[in-house]
Amino acid sequence: MVLEARSLAAFVESVAKAAKLFVPEADPAGGTIFAEATSATAIAPTVPNTRLSVKSVFFPQREVLLSYKESAIEAVPGVDGNLVVFGARPCDARAMTWMDEVFGGGGREDPYFVERRRAAVIVAMGCDEPCASCFCTSVGGSPYGTEGADVLASRMGAGAADLLLEPVTEKGASFLAKHAGQLKPAAADAPSARQAREKAAASRMKVLDFSGVKPKMDAGFESPAWDAITRSCLGCGACTYVCPTCHCFDITDESRGDRGVRVRTWDACQYSLFTLHASGHNPRSHKRARMRQRLMHKYSYAPETAKAVFCSGCGRCVRSCPVNLDIREMLAALEDLA
C-alpha cells in the first residue's frame, strides 16, 4: 500500500486514535527520541538514528513491577499492550527479535515485556542514507531489513515524501487493513523498485568480516589485547543504554515506612559496581574484563545460547561513546589475536 504524503496526517491520527503511537520526535538538544504522538507534525527525520532505540518503548528505563505494604503485594501495574511504533529503523526492529528471545524465550516469560510486545506493531522505515557509523550489513542485517518488523515502510524514491508500506507479518497486514482508509494501492512494480533502493543503500556500506571474531575471543580470553583496546573506556554505560539489544537490569525496592515499590531499572555491565559481590570481591574489577564481557556477550555467548550475534550494527555505541571507542575497531583488533 502507499501512504501519500498528503494522507500522512490523517493516517497518524487514525493510528493514534486506535493505539498508543510512538514516533521519532525532534529533541530540543538535537537528534530524535521515540515519544508518544497524536499528530504527524511530531514525526522528525531520523538521520542519524534516534538517540535511544525502540527497546525503550517495550523495556523502559524505569518500570514499577509491583507495590507492597508490609510483606504483601498491594498491586501490580497493568501494562498497555496496544502500541504502535512508527519509524523504527530496521536495525532496531531486528534487535527486538533478540529482546523477545531474552524476555520471552525458552519458556521464561517476562510478563511486563511480553504483554507490551504481544499486540504491538512495529513499522520499520527503510534506510536510504546509512551513516559512517552504521554497519548492519556486517552483522547479517540490511538497511531495508524486515526482521522484527510487522510492516516495512520505505520512501518511494530519493527524497520522496510518499511511503510504500509493505506488510511483513499477519499483525502488519491487519494493521494496514485497519487503516486502509488512508492508504492507496501500490503499483505492481513497487516492491522491485524498493529492492533497487535497498541495494543502493546497502552498497554504500562497507561490509566487515566478523566471522573470525568468536573463535579468537574464546581462545584469547586472557589476552593483553583486551587491555590495549579498552584503555580509554570511561565505564560510563552510555553504549549499553543506547544499544537496542543490551538488556541488563537491576531490581531495587524503594520504600518509605512500611510500603514501597519494586522497580526494574536499566543496568550496565560497564559499571565497576555491576559485579561487586557482598563479600567485596569483584570478578570484573578492571574495565578490560567489563568490556570483554560486553563484546563476548554479543559476539560469542549470544551466538551459542540464542544462535544470533546480539548486535544489529546500528552504530549508536560508536556515536555516543565520549572517547570514540569503536566496536568495529575493537573487534578487528581481536581478530588480530594470535
Partner 1 sequence: MSAAIRDAIRAAARPLLAEGKVSLIVGYERGSNGYRCRPSFAARAGDIDRLEWDSTCSNNLAVFLPGLFQRPPQKKGQETPLPRIAFVAKACDLRSIVALVKELQAPRGNLVLIGVPCTGMVDERTVREAVGGAEVASFADDGKAVVVRTAAGAEHRFEREAVVQHACRCCQFPVPQGADVTVEGPARTPGDNGDGLVKDIEKLPPAERWARFSAEMSRCIRCYACRQACPTCYCKECFAEQNNPAWIGVGAEQTDVSIFHIVRIFHQAGRCVECDACLRACPMGIDLRTWTKKIAADVRALYGFTPDFDPTGKPPLVTFKEDDAQEFITEPGAQGHGG
Partner 2 sequence: MSEAFEPKIVAFLCNWCSYAGADLAGVSRLQYPPNIRVVRVPCSGRINPLFILAALQNGADGVLVSGCHPGDCHYLSGNLVARRKFNTIKDLLAYVGIEEKRVQFSWVSASEGGRFSDLVRQVSEDVQKLGPQRRLSKEIA
Three-state SS for 177?
Answer: helix
Instruction: Pick one of 17, 178, 259, 286: the residue that binds partner 2 (CB under 8 A).
Output: 259
Q: Smaller CB distance to partner 1: residue 7 or 32? A: 32
Q: Does 129 bind partner 1 (CB under 8 A)?
A: yes
Query: Which residues does 323 contact at the CB level (< 8 Å), separation at least 6?
Result: 232, 233, 234
Tell me the C-alpha to C-alpha distance, in Å, between residue 186 and each of 2, 152, 200, 299.
5, 13, 21, 40
Choices 135-143, 213-221, 235-243, 295-303 (CB under 8 A): range interacting with partner 1: 235-243
Element (H, E) at 264: strand 259-266
Instruction: Pick one of 260, 303, 306, 337: the residue that binds partner 2 (CB under 8 A).
Output: 260
Q: Single out the residue of 290, 284, 283, 246 nearest to residue 266, CA to CA.
A: 246
Q: Smaller CB distance to partner 2: residue 77 or 283? A: 77
33 contacts which partner out of partner 1, partner 2, none, CB within 5 to 8 A by kind?
partner 1
Instruction: Pick one of 108, 118, 324, 336: the residue that binds partner 1 (CB under 8 A).
Output: 324
Q: Which residues pair with 306 in a beta bridge?
A: none
Pairwise CA distance, residues 303 & 214, whole Å: 9
Q: Where are the alpha helices (DSSP H) in the chain?
A: 8-18, 55-58, 90-104, 111-118, 170-178, 190-203, 213-219, 225-230, 238-242, 287-296, 302-305, 316-320, 327-335
Instruction: Pick one of 256, 277, 281, 307: the residue that binds partner 2 (CB under 8 A).
Output: 256
Rounded to the nearest whole angstrom, what is the least distance from the CB of residue 255 to partner 2 in the complex? 7
Choices 204-212, 248-256, 272-280, 295-303 (CB under 8 A): range interacting with partner 2: 248-256
Pairwise CA distance, residues 110 & 278, whole Å: 27
Pairwise CA distance, residues 302 & 298, whole Å: 6
Cell, residue 99 = 529482546
Instruction: Pick one of 104, 220, 235, 303: the residue that binds partner 1 (CB under 8 A).
Output: 235
Pairwise CA distance, residues 42 & 163, whole Å: 17
Choices 104-112, 197-205, 252-260, 324-332 (CB under 8 A): range interacting with partner 2: 252-260
Q: Smaller CB distance to partner 1: residue 10 or 26? A: 26
Rounded to the nearest whole angstrom, what is the least distance from the CB of residue 257 to partner 2 in the complex? 9
Q: Smaller CB distance to partner 1: residue 65 or 306? A: 65
Instruction: Pick one of 109, 129, 227, 254: the residue that binds partner 2 (CB under 8 A).
Output: 254
Q: Which residues ranging from 266 to 305 are in contact with partner 1 (CB under 8 A)? A: 266, 268, 271-273
Query: Which residues does 187 contact at the CB level (< 8 Å), separation at least 6?
Result: none
Pairwise CA distance, residues 291 & 271, whole Å: 10
Q: Does 248 bind partner 1 (CB under 8 A)?
A: no
Rounded to the nearest whole angstrom, what is the least distance from the CB of residue 250 to partner 2 in the complex? 18
Q: Are 43 and 86 in contact (CB under 8 A)?
A: yes
Instruction: Pick one of 64, 173, 276, 332: the residue that binds partner 2 (CB under 8 A).
Output: 64
**Applying CB under 8 A, which residues contact partner 1?**
27, 29-31, 33, 45, 47-48, 51-52, 61-62, 129, 131-133, 231-232, 234-238, 240-242, 250, 252, 254, 263, 265-266, 268, 271-273, 318, 320, 322-326, 328-329
